[in-house]
Amino acid sequence: MPTKTLITGAAGFLGRALVTTLSAENHFTLTAVSRTSIPDLPSTVFTHVLRDINATTDWSAAIDVDVVVHAAARVHVMNDHAHDPLASFREINTAGTLNLARQAAKAGARRFIFISSVKVNGEGTVTGRPFFADDTCAPSDPYGVSKYEAEQGLIELGAYTGMEIVIIRPVLVYGPGVKANFHQLMRILQGGVPLPLGGIKNSRSLVSLDNLIDLIRVCIDHPAAANQRFLVSDGEDVSTTELARRILKFSGSKTWLIPVPDYLIFALAKLARRESYARRVLGSLQVDINKTRTLLNWSPPISLDQGLKLTVEQFMKTENK
């Protein structure tokens, strides 16, 4: 019998791809919820538009399901202009999540999959010392704090309602159609202007959209996923320099990457008031996915190179229109 599954954030980068992938399988009956209408979805997908997600949202029209995959969120941005960023993140990511979860449990949902963030673990790692799924958490920005508080509330809710809680913390997600910082990096690399990215020796974990979707698909049904936290990546870490080189290889561009010392890059970024960008470019953030591999018998189905190739090819098609 098909698993009745609710997917929130269904118009977003992850949610739309997840709905499209799962709707192609007979194993699922899907309900997709988003803030805006979603064109071109299969007629078999039930859709609902909810303008706001907060502590008072009424989910009754969409909540008769077996499993909830909660991908909707107020997303992290580099420069947040909200008057009180933490309150704004909490309204949606914490209170909104727990309100949905309480209604789902009351309606009889057996499992709640929460798409959290590696920012719950912290902002960065020392190269060679990755985050683990069950590490002590150390979120430091409002987005990470709001996700952490949602995780804690879900664990408490699951303990007294019996609804199974699954927490997935992705690292930076990329894939065809990616926006934000990854899209900006690809665009900069196509400019042909020499860039000071040739000597960065950090180490970062990434996850392709395809690999993240595959893990979510496994977590919908796998008995061992119940009441667990998982980190997810492509299973191969790269430096910023190596990432740039691979993007250039798949795009065919000839941008020259100049080796410049980290301290000089950071000093120039500070002068330009871009310290936060420099920290991302220069810093390490690695995750260990051995728990995910072992407990779920899961491996990333596509490699980092395969994921990057698909992403860059789509980017080049779009840019060259």
Residues designated as active site: 143
CA distances to 63, 121, 122, 308 from 117, in Å: 24, 8, 10, 21
Do residues 174 and 210 make contact, with C-beta atoms less than 8 angstroms apart? no
In DSSP notation, 153-195 reads HHHHHHHHH--EEEEEEE-EEE-TT--HHHHHHHHHHTS---B
CA distances to 58, 66, 134, 167, 319 from 113, in Å: 19, 11, 17, 6, 35
Separation between Cα atoms, residue 229 and residue 133, nearest integer Å? 6
Amino acid at 59: W
Contacts of 239 (CB under 8 A, 6+ apart): 200, 201, 202, 203, 204
Separation between Cα atoms, residue 54 and residue 230, nearest integer Å? 25
